[in-house]
Structure 1
Amino acid sequence: MARLIFVNLPVANLPRAIAFYQAIGFVNQPAFTDETAACMAWTDTIFVMLLTHDKWRSFTDRPIAPPTASEVALAINLGSVAAVDHLVATGAANGGVADINPPQDMGFMYQRALADPDGHVWEPFWMDPAAIPPVETNTPTEDTQ
């Protein structure tokens, strides 16, 4: 089985968050969506779980970071510089904030930053495939599968 990642994010307004993520290309998974949470697929192995504050608090007593804080920056690879610019522009037009950090153009890599309506930071980027070294991964064992 492929390894999956589910990024859990607390959101103040679930319908607004769903609309934002759909606008930037995520697809809602109705089987895992209700009035307290929404599962949004980026790929067949990468998902974002949008959780109402009450739902989030059922998992942890830790405080929810305010929209002005950065608890994590989520970098996602796109196919071109134009795709990066399009995602950021679309996100900003749908309740997000573009370029909360200065754009970076290093020639072989281009990156921008976008905050969603709850302040979660996404960093869409393009990287020249020739600049990506081979990735070493650990082979999963029974203990880690």
Structure 2
Amino acid sequence: MYQQMIFVNLPVSDVDVSKKFFTELGYAINPQFSTDDNACVVISETIIAMLLSRQRYADFTKKEIVDATTSSEVLLCLSAESREKVDELVDRAIAAGGSAAGETQDQGFMYGRSFDDPDGHTWEVVWMDPAAVQG
């Protein structure tokens, strides 16, 4: 069966800082699709974050590029296999130079926390009880 992929393209101020940040979260950089102007971050087999210098990002749009530290256009959400994995990833993100974003969401069957990366993009990390998903 075909597995559809998502390539999330985000503008960043410093590609090297972004590479270091996401590497510290445990993600790999695919050198085949990375240059001085961008980093290809492999989050999973089907999720890729393309971190583009603001100049390179501008090559793909005629729209104004927002400053994610002051404006929000997208909230990125990643699933986690447990509550502990939610905490582990968010804590690593904060230790690597990110910042906590929002309050912890604990509804029993669903648990989530968020962080902002060094460029202000908000990443949510959520665990949901498989039994609750099945109904």
Normalising by the residue count of structure 2, what TM-score does the alignment of the two structures yield?
0.94
3-state SS of 2:51 partner: strand
> What is the rounded CA distance, in whole Å, between the counterparts of 2:98 and 2:63 in structure 1?
25
Give the distance between the partners of 2:7 and 2:126, measured in 1 at CA. 20
What's the counterpart of residue 84 of structure 1?
86
**Match for 1:95 among 94, 97, 107?**
97
Deviations 1:8-67 (A, max 9, x none): 000001000011111112211010000011111111111000000110000012122111
1:142 alignment partner in structure 2? none
Whole-angstrom CA distance in 1 between matches of 2:58 and 2:74: 18
Supply the AA of the counterpart residue of 1:68.
T
- 2:13 is matched with 12
Kindly report structure 1 stretches of 4+ aligned residues shifted beyond 2 Å.
none
In structure 1, C-alpha distance between the alignment counterparts of 2:113 and 2:128, rounded to whole Å: 12
CA displacement, residues 49-88 of structure 1 (integer Å, 9 cap, x when unaligned):
0000110000012122111222111111111111111111
Percent identity among equivalent residues?
41
Give the drift of 1:106: 0.3
Output the amino acid matched with 1:74: L
Query: CA separation in 2, counterparts of 1:72 and 1:59?
Result: 17
What amino acid is the match of 2:128? M
* Pairing partner for 2:76 from 46, 52, 74: 74
For residues 96 and 83 of structure 2, the distance between their equivalents in structure 1, rounded to whole angstroms, comes to 20
Aligned to 1:113, what secondary structure does the other structure show? strand
In structure 2, the partner of 1:64 is 65
Counterpart in 2 of 1:141?
A: none
- Name the Cα RMSD after superposition: 1.2
Q: Deviation string for 1:86-128 (max 9, x for gaps)?
A: 1111111111111x21110000000111000000010001110
Give the letter for the 1:113 counterpart.
S
Q: How does 1:35-74 map to 2 (within 5 A)?
A: 35-66=36-67, 67-74=69-76
